[in-house]
Structure 1
Amino acid sequence: MWKAKGKNYQNIDAFLKVYGSLAPKQYTYALIRKITSGFSDKLGEGGYAVVYKGKLCNGRLVAVKLLKQSKGSGEDFINEVASISRTNHVNIVALLGFCFEGNKRALIYEFMSNGSLEKFAYHGAREHTLPLETLFNIGVGIATGLDYLHRGCNARILHFDIKPHNILLDEEFRPKISDFGLARLCSQQENTISTMDIARGTIGYIAPEVFCRNFGGVSHKSDVYSYGMMILDIVCGRKNIISDEIQQSSNMYFPQWIYKRLQHGEEVGILNDHEKALERKMILVSLWCIRTYPSNRPSMTQVIEMLQSGVELLQMPPEPYISSPPTLANNSSETISLVE
């Protein structure tokens, strides 16, 4: 036990020495309790963490992510802190500090007043509705943040868990990518990851090559796939439109259903001409992003160019025919690791 504890703190010390003044502030657990007023204001809860609203001594509002359980020597936790500490971008959530004290681990982020994109993503469960143009701008912002992670940092950061739940919105609905717990760092020269021994991601958003290497190598294109599935969700509202029509055809999965509607010029909602163009553009880009083989998907740089181009310039991609296991669509918020 003492050896394990010693290794934990060696990891922290090594991290702080490497990052020096660039490392986020380290907080004690007692101070975390004070910041959150005894964990009295819960913002949300997932499988591995609970998020509380807090306030720093300078009055700044923060979101404190308290991990429910700690595993191993804390390397995954330090990996998350190290990954996000490397970032500085308007579409990446800012990490202000962390707590690593015994088995108590927490992350302190900037507070995002509109919460996660998840509550706006699915029509059937929406607390609020957002105009299609706002959703489009959110999609562009997420693409810009991912492009920064993939080629704007000294080390390429692969997120591996892009989904509505991990996109936070500020008071003006500007998106910020959060939750780097599954992220991997690699050099800009690496085209694929060869050392990843488990599949990681969230059911319904995992790229085919992540759970089956026969489709290709795992790379930044795996994030592109997750992005494409997420944009299909927010523009089409998957949980709302999987209705009698699609249930009667059990062999047709969500992107195929969308593809068929697009082929026949059918809009998902009641839209004006401008909204029709935005919807078609987002769907076309998404369908390109979820191509089965990574080599056939665009990079995030190309995704941004496609989103900024005229919809008449975008070609129709081939029909999608494979995704993550089809039974996963009903549990799209569950994060998993699959041992190969």
Structure 2
Amino acid sequence: MGNLVLFDKRKRAIWQSFDHPTDCLLPGQNLVSGRKLIASISATNHSQGLLALSVLNGSWAAYTDTVPPQYYYSSSYADSSYYSFDGQSFTSLHYPTNSTTQFMKIGPDGHLKVSQWSVVDWNEVSDILSPYVENCGYPMVCGSYSICTNNGQCTCPPQENFFRPFSERKPDLGCSQLTSICCNSSQYHSFVELKNTTCFAFNVDLELNSSKLWLAQTMLEDCKRACLNNCSCKAAVFEYRWEGEHCLLLNEVFSLTDSEEGRGKTVFLKVQNTSKAQTQSLIIPLSGGKKSRPFKVIIGSTLAAFFGIILSIATCFVIFRKKAHESRKAADILDLAPILPGILTRFSYNELKIITDDFSGKLGEGGFGCVYEGTLRNRTNIAVKNLDGVGQVKDSFLTEVKAVGGIHHINLVKLIGFCAEKIHRLLIYEYMVNGSLDRWITHENKENGLTWSTRQRIISDIAKGLAYLHEDCSHKIIHLDIKPQNILLDQYLNAKISDFGLSMLIEKDKSKVVTRMRGTQGYLAPEWWSSVITEKVDVYAFGIVLLEILCGRKNLDWAQPDEENVHLLSVFRRKAEQEQLIDMVDKNNEDMQLHREAVTEMMSLAAWCLQGDFSKRPSMSLVVKALEGLVTVETNLNYDFTHVPDVGAGNQEREVIISSKFPSILSGPR
């Protein structure tokens, strides 16, 4: 049946997966009161979304899992071959009984579908709600604050001063308010009225909407006043019915419906007006009631002409500035036009202020800006990097969009969108819930110390990400700032490389460029002090990060009691010469101590990556193969990691050599 059951010694079932459904029901599985199916955010993001299905008050219902919930379907009957309902338990059935494997699932769009296995793939055989819920009746069909029309189109409310689509190319993603509602300035709250418009919650029995936000027998003005007096209310839905007027207050605004059936129904969207200072006219009194003399007429005419000239000059100046600004803005768009692959979302600055709660939650700070936490309308968490500074900001912004916008790899942090508006340059990334690697390898999270197997996976993830950057992506990239702070961990402690903020693009037919020294002290390859820079500088930095992970300490640790132990590479060289590498294994982790032999074997890979002669370091693809056991690590290693062969006189400007095997693009620190 697909039920995972845990038995005790007497073979009694003490736990089973059928009692803890996620978003699916298997044939024979029951959904009872107190349990619910929760849809995922999207087909690729399996975090819990906002749509759910459960048994409630003798009915089974589909709704938004908000407070209070908003229902879009409920039923007290069992009228399907694929399920049964007895008022207390919703049971998935196997239909037809001789069919292959089936499952019932509530999707991110709110549809409840049955899928059946057919030789090589799953086929949808039934959409349970389709006979009862029209396309515009699903909460997420058009996204928040968007209106679903009877022809299936999604549009924002017509008031452009208050609403804007999240994406012009994807109108079904919904709309955002340009100015967020602030409870402290309720005197500026008003409504945008949408006639012949309704909310999906009106299509469900009033009995299910028995919360305090459902107001029966309420006059129109009382309905609007109730929403204005309730800070959490974002919209009021009013309807005239034969038994009287009804009002529903909404704490969350999802997809609305605009159709002929909406007559008699009106949606009032609460909006925030901006206060405007009242201007007063300047009145200059005239003297007496005497008639104007000729010279006064001349003076008046002269002054009028003078002020007319000044006004004309000022007008021309304003028009010139406006056109210049529009030209610069158009130039920005033109700069971005040829490099965007069509998959990034363009955000406005006001949208990002709303998404980040006015940039209140700082996640971190780098050399070229701060990173803030934000939440999209679909509850997806994001990280917003606000680039600051002068001069390089625009170049670094365009470069990062160019370098990162078109590459996709499981071990690279994904760029979701960007903002290029006036002086603002922001980048929107996926949110990595477990932060940067340095917090974990230096035991800030002692209660959640990384196990040996987890560290192995993290090391492999970093290596695969670098191998992709160096050799496999369409635009070859040297990162130039690999360090634990730029390695981020997701909820499952999978590692992803971040931060490509200062990349320098190189034409494929060019073999070298000149660049300034970049990177972070302690992770710089020794050849930075000479004149040759290749992609092997990333290999060297990877070797240091690898050693930090294995030893559970920083490369430069000034908290060490002995000065000779401050530099990790110095300790590594000394212990290698004394054949006591086992002493370097992370002493604060019991699991690492249990695998000391395996850990010390991997230290030889770190030494290979740290060779002073960059030509003797492995490529990152070779490192990946070594981690997978497909190749053996070089044995003739020099533990003097600072020794560099003579390659010519050093220069203040470094020539970055792009090998013929791995043509590359440069990228630097944030």
Q: Same fold (TM over 0.5)?
A: yes
**Deviation at 1:116?**
0.8
| Structure-1 separation of matches of 2:423 and 2:464 | 36
Distance 1:68 1:317, change over 3 A: same
The residue identity in structure 1 corresponding to 2:337 is L
1:302 to 596, 605, 622: 622
Partner residue in 2 for 1:200: 518
How many percent identity over aligned positions? 32
Residue 243 (1) aligns with residue 564 (2)? no
2: CA distance, partners of 1:60 / 1:49? 22
Greater RCO, CA 8 A, separation 6+: 1
The answer to whether structure 1 residue 261 and structure 2 residue 575 are counterparts is yes
Could you say which residue in structure 2 is the equivalent of 1:32? 352
Residue 361 of structure 2 is aligned to residue 41 of structure 1: yes
Q: Residue deviations 1:308-340, cap 9 Å, x none?
A: 22898662621124189xxxxxxxxxxxxx866
- Superposition map of 1:107-126 within 5 A: 107-123=427-443, 125-126=444-445
Q: In the alignment, is the contact (CA less than 8 A) between 1:119 and 1:126 conserved in 2? A: yes
Query: 2:372 aligned with 1:58, yes or no?
Result: no
SS of the residue aligned with 2:363? strand
- In structure 2, how many angstroms separate the alpha carbons of the residues matched to 1:5 and 1:129? 54
Query: How many equivalent residue pairs?
Result: 317
Which deviations, in whole Å up to 9, do the C-alpha atoms of 1:248-274 show, x marking residues without a partner?
488xx4213113324423422346676
**Which residue matches 2:422?**
102
Query: Contact 1:256/1:319 (CA < 8 Å) preserved in 2?
Result: no
CA change 1:164–1:76 in 2 (3 A) is same
Provide the rounded CA distance (Å) in 2 between the counterparts of 1:5 and 1:316: 62
Q: CA contact under 8 A between 2:526 and 2:643: conserved in structure 1?
A: yes
Structure 1 letter corresponding to 2:638: P
Max radius of gyration: which structure? 2
Give the C-alpha shift of residue 228 in structure 1.
0.9
Query: Aligned partners of 1:188 and 1:5: how far apart in 2?
Result: 34
In structure 2, what is the equivalent of residue 332 of structure 1? none
Residue 157 of structure 1 corresponds to 477
Deviation string 1:56-99 (CA, Å, 9 cap, x unpaired) is: 12221111111232424712211011101121110001100011
**How far, CA to CA, are the matches of 2:381 and 2:536 in structure 1?**
35
Mapped partners of 2:325, 2:517: distance in 1: 26
Distance 1:17 1:183, change over 3 A: closer
Per-residue CA distance 1:231-286 (angstroms, 9 max, x = gap)? 112222135697344x1488xx4213113324423422346676223322332111
Per-residue Cα deviation, 1:154-185 (whole angstroms, up to 9, x for no partner):
22111111111111100110011110013344
> Which has the higher mean CA deviation after the structures are superposed, 40-49 or 91-100?
40-49
CA deviations on 1:111-136 (whole Å, 9 max, x unpaired) are: 1110111111224x556421132112
Q: What one-letter code is carried by the residue in structure 1 that aligns with 2:534?
A: S
Deviation at residue 196 of structure 1 after TM alignment: 2.6
* Mean Cα deviation higher: 32-41 or 71-80: 71-80
Q: Return the TM-score normalized by structure 2.
A: 0.44
Distance 1:108 1:275, change over 3 A: same
1:15 and 2:336 matched: yes
2:396 and 2:503 in contact (8 A); partners too? no
Of the three residues 217, 224, 233, the one matched with 2:548 is 233
Cα distance in structure 1, aligned partners of 2:338 and 2:536: 33
Asked whether the 8 Å contact 2:387–2:397 carries over to 1, the reply is no
1:68 corresponding residue in structure 2: 388
1:29 Cα deviation (Å)? 0.8
Unaligned stretches of 5+ in structure 1? Answer: 325-337
CA distance in 2, matches of 1:87, 1:242: 39
Contact 2:417 2:429 in 1 (8 A): yes
Give the drift of 1:301: 0.8
Change (3 A) 1:32 1:272: closer
Q: CA deviation at 1:28?
A: 1.1
- Provide the rounded CA distance (Å) in 2 between the counterparts of 1:234 and 1:323: 24
Q: Which is helix-richer, 1 or 2?
A: 1
Question: Which amino acid counterpart does residue 234 of structure 1 have in structure 2?
Answer: I
Deviates more, 1:263-272 or 1:72-81: 263-272
TM-score by length of 1: 0.82
CA distance in 2, matches of 1:149, 1:312: 23
| 2:523 is aligned with 1:209 | no
Q: Distance in 1 between matches of 2:643 and 2:521?
A: 10
* SS class of match (1:200): coil
Q: What is the CA–CA distance in structure 1 between the aligned matches of 2:451 and 2:610, rounded to whole Å?
A: 24
More displaced 10-residue stretch of structure 1: 304-313 or 258-267: 304-313
- Kept in 2, the 8 Å contact 1:182–1:200? The answer is no
Residues 5 and 288 (structure 1), Cα distance of their counterparts in 2 relative to 1, 3 Å cut:
farther
CA apart distance, 1:32: 0.7
Q: What does the per-residue CA deviation read over 1:33-58, in whole Å, with 9 as the maximum and x for residues that have no partner? A: 01111112222222322111111122
Post-superposition Cα deviations, 1:188-208, rounded to whole Å, max 9, x if no partner, equal: 776x6x213211111111122
Taking the aligned partners of 2:643 and 2:419, their CA distance within structure 1 comes to: 38
Q: How many angstroms apart in 2 are the aligned matches of 1:255 and 1:133?
A: 24
Q: Alpha carbons of 1:221 and 1:67: their partners in 2 closer, same or farther (altered >3 Å)?
A: same
- Secondary structure in structure 2 of the residue aligned to 1:17: coil
Instruction: Give the 3 Å change call, closer, same or farther, for CA 20–147 of structure 1 in structure 2.
Output: closer
Q: Does residue 282 of structure 1 match 2:599?
A: no
Q: Distance in 2 between matches of 1:255 and 1:316?
A: 18
3-state secondary structure, aligned to 2:608: helix
Relative distance call for 1:83 and 1:106 in structure 2 (3 A) is same
Question: Aligned partners of 1:304 and 1:274: how far apart in 2?
Answer: 24
SS in 1 for 2:635: coil
From the superposition, tell whether residues 100 and 315 of structure 1 become closer, same or farther in structure 2 (CA, over 3 Å). same
Q: What is the rounded CA distance, in whole Å, between the counterparts of 2:412 and 2:550 in structure 1?
A: 22
Is residue 384–residue 429 contact of structure 2 (8 Å, CA) maintained in 1?
A: yes
Who is 1:132 aligned against? 452
Q: Decide whether the 8 Å contact of 2:608 with 2:634 is kept in 1.
A: no
1:8–1:156: structure 2 CA closer, same or farther, 3 Å change rule? Answer: farther
Which residue of the partner structure matches residue 64 of structure 2?
A: none
